[in-house]
Structure 1
């Protein structure tokens, strides 16, 4: 009798937990689901006026330059090539509602080389830091890679002038991919102390070579660097609203 009761209890608990787990799994699209994540952004922008899409960089004309390069090859220039992806085209229509820059189907090509992998890194940045209004909660960007094991990182400064680095993971895929990243609270938490909600800045991008990779040149492309920012006056601790999608 006790065994039967335990089995029934287990089944009941399982039935109660299953819907919760299923809802959690559906809360946000998988990393490889570019269209799903674009639609998630669009949905939040439509139903919640606390959020605003900030077109931080369309990679059309702004000058970027390498700094503290540990390699001889350091080339950055624009080419007429963008993702041939339904999600990118859909996102481009969304971006056009928020951007003042006319799209010319260009992207930023970055070329460098690592002759001593694990000891060399590559950093590049815009001429001036790019300001971000509100509380930046998510970042998205399209990156074209060629199965490089190296690691990508985005760099910011918060309202206190502190450097905040955001790890975007390894570049181990082939072709274009849309990255969708939750931003840390350190980016905007200090704005409460300064009273300035327009002090967060994007300062650059870094590529850290993998120590076990083969020496040689690499090339990457970047397009559509976007920020989802909370522009409300509400004070809450952390980006838990976004994480509950």
Structure 2
């Protein structure tokens, strides 16, 4: 059995609110293997985004270890975390964070300024069916098109991990299915390790691995031997 790409070991994250402490992640442990399409599921306040922020190096654990490719990122200093985010992480958020004064092509090609092994922007935009919109600006695109550019930008970094925080939350259901299908295809066909945080339990049957959170604790972790395609999900 191959070593997991990601391993959380007894991870706890506490936030201070005045004299009180909120435990957003409560001694959680799980693993994810390379190329898996993973869904982290739970209601608002379950700790989903906290887990994603810890894995993405945007927040620090209170205790525990997070191994990525065998390295414990919980021990990294700020310089190491910056390099980790730059070189290994692609982020896709609910809102697209595109630069309004740059064209579609320029928004994606910008990654070449950040990382040494960036992929070809034109090829990646073609893979998300945006090759005919290269010279448009974000304001000229629909929400779904902007999200596809956001995904292309994340993929163009050639990241170890593609982390998606409610990536379809601002989209209508039909466009959301197209985006989720694209992300699943990136996992299946390109070997990207994709982790999606969502409150929508309908996506569960499409996951290679499902991690269900409630009140900062894992209540279920399942490796699905026969996930369905996103298009087959009963929304």
TM-score by length of 2: 0.25
Flag the structure with larger Rg: 1
Task: Name the structure with the higher helix share.
Answer: 2
Task: Name the structure with the higher strand share.
Answer: 1
